[in-house]
């Protein structure tokens, strides 16, 4: 396949599958599962099972093993194999020892906590606000990289992070004034959703820092990293759900436990009893698997700066689709916040170079020239 066509497929695939994953997840959240015939919408019970949504994400990551097998064990997907290099050692197919693979359970647990909190937060806030707030990841990764990986960040990069923070703040203020689904009119729950998403991004920043440390010390291929984390995350979460089902079922009032997000039996019943929810689950697993494949492909074919632009396009598409589907309306404050968020992210990753602009103070131009932060393995 022509290299330009292949690259275009990777770019379009990253944007589309990343966008669809957020849309499908929000679609699941909006599905009514109880009291659906009640004319009062406020009495409807929608699908609120963030733990199961996290589990289906891990299953989707495990599906990356199929891609890994086809690319490196067969010739069926050999078109991209030449561009893939093992990270850490110059081996064609590094064999990961059991002890090293067990270390991947650490970022998997960080991913488990962070993703579950993201799904909790998405229940209460608009999907576009959810996607934009996730831009705070670059801020937390930068801070934790300085603390734990002893990285240096230039003054211009810190200024870009301040701009990102300002954009996130405006988006959050916009989101707090918007009602969404079951959370309509409950500004308190919207704020809870915003806080959950921000804290979740902090957890995922820890995940990325741990991943980078492991990638430095072990000969792990990115696709191996994804499916191993999917496996460990799925196992840990499945065990936790079983334990919580019996523990919470014994201590909570039956009426409270019935709609608990950790009532695994009820959640599976809701999922399997609705072809809308089940269909969305299948699409979510396929989209997360495809997104990881396309994103990792871009890791080897494009720079981190190019990917930052692509990610901004993904966020914009989520926002536009949410408005087209009637889930949200246009808010000027959100637009301004999104603009600042994109501008700060592009400056931080070097797509825009304000040090060449006349209005930038000399103290910023004279900052120490250090390499930008390495971008972690792509994630939703």
3-state secondary structure of 87: strand
Confidence of residue 216 (pLDDT cuts 50, 70, 90): confident
Residue 295 pLDDT exceeds 80? no
pLDDT at 180: 45
Q: How far is CA 115 from CA 112, 300, 333, 373, in A?
A: 5, 25, 27, 23
Alpha-carbon gap, residue 360 to 168, rounded angstroms: 23
Rounded Cα–Cα distance for residues 329 and 244 (Å): 38
d(CA 170, CA 187): 16
Whether 30 has a pLDDT exceeding 80, the answer reads yes
CA 195 from chain center: how many Å? Answer: 16
Is the pLDDT confidence value at 292 over 70? Answer: yes
pLDDT of residue 57: 92
pLDDT tens digits, 173-201: 887 766 544 444 467 788 888 899 999 98
Q: What's the sign of the alpha-carbon dihedral 121, 126, 129, 130?
A: positive
CB–CB of 307/374 below 8 Å?
no
User: pTM score, two decimals?
Assistant: 0.78
The residue with greater pLDDT, 74 or 130, is: 130
Rounded to the nearest integer, the mean pLDDT of the chain is 78
C-beta atoms surrounding 318 within 10 Å: 26
Q: What confidence tier does 95 reach under pLDDT thresholds 50, 70, 90?
A: low
pLDDT at 127 exceeding the cut of 80: yes
The confidence band for 140, taking pLDDT boundaries of 50, 70 and 90, is confident
Q: Which residue has the higher pLDDT, 302 or 359?
A: 302
Using 50, 70 and 90 to split pLDDT, how confident is the model at 283? very high
Q: Residue for token digits 């406020």?
A: 42
Residues 6+ apart with CB under 8 A from 372: 157, 304, 348, 349, 350
Average pLDDT over residues 84-108: 62
Q: How far apart are CA 162 and CA 147, in angstroms?
A: 18
Contact yes or no for 288/60 (Cβ under 8 A):
yes
Looking at residues 350-366, what average pLDDT do you find?
56
The DSSP-derived string for 206-223 is: HHHHHHHHHHHHS-B-HH
C-alpha to C-alpha distance for 367 and 369, rounded to whole angstroms: 6
Residue 2 pLDDT greater than 80, yes or no: no
Percentage of the residues of the chain whose pLDDT score is greater than 70: 75
Strand stretches in 184-259, DSSP E: none
């Amino acid at each position: 396949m022509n290299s330009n066509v292949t690259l275009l497929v990777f770019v379009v695939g990253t944007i589309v599958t990343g966008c669809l994953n957020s849309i499908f997840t929000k679609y699941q959240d909006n599905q009514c599962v109880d009291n659906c015939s009640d004319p009062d919408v406020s009495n409807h019970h929608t699908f609120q099972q963030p733990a199961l949504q996290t589990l289906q994400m891990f299953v989707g990551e495990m599906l990356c093993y199929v891609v890994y097998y086809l690319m490196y064990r067969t010739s069926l997907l050999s078109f991209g194999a030449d561009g893939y290099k093992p990270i850490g050692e110059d081996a064609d197919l590094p064999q990961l020892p059991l002890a090293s693979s067990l270390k991947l359970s650490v970022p998997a647990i960080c991913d488990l906590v962070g993703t579950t909190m993201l799904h909790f937060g998405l229940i209460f806030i608009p999907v576009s606000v959810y996607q934009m707030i996730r831009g705070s990841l670059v801020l937390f990764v930068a801070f934790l990289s300085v603390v734990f990986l002893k990285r240096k960040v230039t003054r211009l990069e810190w200024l870009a992070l301040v701009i990102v923070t300002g954009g996130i703040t405006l988006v959050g203020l916009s989101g707090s004034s918007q009602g969404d689904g079951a959370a309509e009119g409950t500004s308190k729950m919207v704020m809870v959703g915003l806080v959950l998403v921000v804290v979740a991004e902090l957890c995922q920043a820890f995940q990325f820092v741990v991943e980078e440390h492991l990638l430095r010390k072990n000969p792990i291929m990115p696709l191996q990293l994804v499916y191993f984390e999917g496996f460990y995350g799925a196992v840990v979460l499945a065990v936790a759900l079983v334990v919580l089902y019996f523990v919470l079922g014994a201590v909570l009032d039956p009426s409270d436990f019935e709609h608990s997000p950790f009532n695994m039996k009820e959640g599976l019943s809701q999922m399997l009893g609705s072809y809308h929810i089940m269909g969305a689950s299948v699409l979510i697993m396929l989209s997360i698997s495809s997104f990881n494949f396309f994103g990792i492909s871009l890791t080897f074919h494009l720079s981190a700066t190019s990917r930052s632009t692509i990610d901004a396009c993904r966020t914009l598409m989520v926002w536009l689709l949410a408005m087209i589907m009637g889930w949200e309306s246009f808010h000027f404050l959100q637009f301004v916040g999104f603009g600042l968020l994109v501008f700060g992210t592009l400056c931080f990753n070097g797509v825009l170079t304000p040090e060449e602009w006349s209005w930038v103070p000399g103290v910023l131009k004279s900052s120490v020239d250090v390499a930008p932060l390495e971008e972690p393995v792509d994630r939703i």
